[in-house]
Amino acid sequence: MKKIYLFLLSTILLMTSALAESITVVPGGKPGGSSFARATMYKEVLTKMGHDVKFENISSTKEGAKYLEKTRGKETVIMMYPTNQPSQIGYDITENNFVLKEYFAPYFWCQSNEAVDKDVLKVGLDKNMNQKFSDKLFGALGKEVIYLRYKNSGALYNAITAGDIDAMFTNQGKSLKLVKNNQGSCIANTSSEVIHDITSVYTIVKDGTKFPVMEYPVISNNTSEKLRSILIEANKDELFVQWRASKGLPEIVGQDTRQEELRLAMEGQELWKQ
């Protein structure tokens, strides 16, 4: 009996070793943002799953992409990489780096309480954001706009709450935070649906302009089906499920094929470039 037990134990250990992967996690974002949050969850969950996990605290997406390519064929690196980033750093989502789509969310135009009746608005955008989308919305609303550029969504939120800008175009997290804290309201979102009681931009802009939602993929220098399966399994962990629930995000991980997810990500990144 003892020999059988030892045989079974050694078999399990061998199987675990064979299935285990060495994975380096790069956040591509700073603490406080969704990319960093997801990266730290991957570190915790993948470690719990038995994988050898290294965390490279590279907050710059540009430097993260360089690290990913520099280590191609040497180590498996995963990085959080939303679809607005290619337009900002010139590194595209492709067949050679796409692994998994975690979720998607629209962008929102929101304004402070004091801005509601203003005809001239100071509007904040991320530093590399194309202003075409905001031009379309505010033009349809008959508003004159002065644009100011900010480093990221956190800086935009600080600017609007401080009264430095009247409105902002940014991600779901900071937009809903403004509403939740009774500091403002949202005008429209970039999807075709009413999201969190906020109307679709397509009910205001009706000239055929296509607006982007944000896709949130994980990219890697290893696009194997094995790695994709590992990340899908990680996303079933309660840590990820609770985090998405707290953000009001849909549970869609692994529901589509990799090719369909890749198609949407590639289409999305092109919209952000226009």
What phi, psi does 205 have (nearest 5°)? -100, 115
Tens-digit pLDDT profile for residues 121-154:
999 998 878 899 999 999 999 999 999 999 888 9
pLDDT over 80 (residue 194): yes
* Residue 271, pLDDT above cutoff 60: yes
The pLDDT tens digits for 26-83 are: 999 989 889 999 999 999 999 999 999 999 999 999 999 999 999 999 999 999 999 9
Question: Model confidence over 112-127: pLDDT tens digits?
Answer: 999 999 999 999 998 8
Assign 70 to helix, strand or coil: helix
- Does residue 3 have a pLDDT over 60? no
* Mean pLDDT across the chain: 92
Token pair 């349809």 in the structure block, residue: 140
Is the CB of residue 1 less than 8 Å from the CB of residue 122?
no
Q: Which domains does the chain have, with CATH numbers?
A: 2-104+216-273 (3.40.190.150), 108-203 (3.40.190.10)
9 has a pLDDT exceeding 70: no
* pLDDT tier for residue 250 given thresholds of 50, 70 and 90: confident
Average pLDDT over residues 71-99: 96
Helix (H, G, I), strand (E, B) or coil at 22: strand
pLDDT beyond 90 at 5: no
Q: Which residues in 190-226 are b (16+ Cβ under 10 Å) and which e? A: bbeeebeebebbbebbeeeeebbbbbbbbbbbbbeee
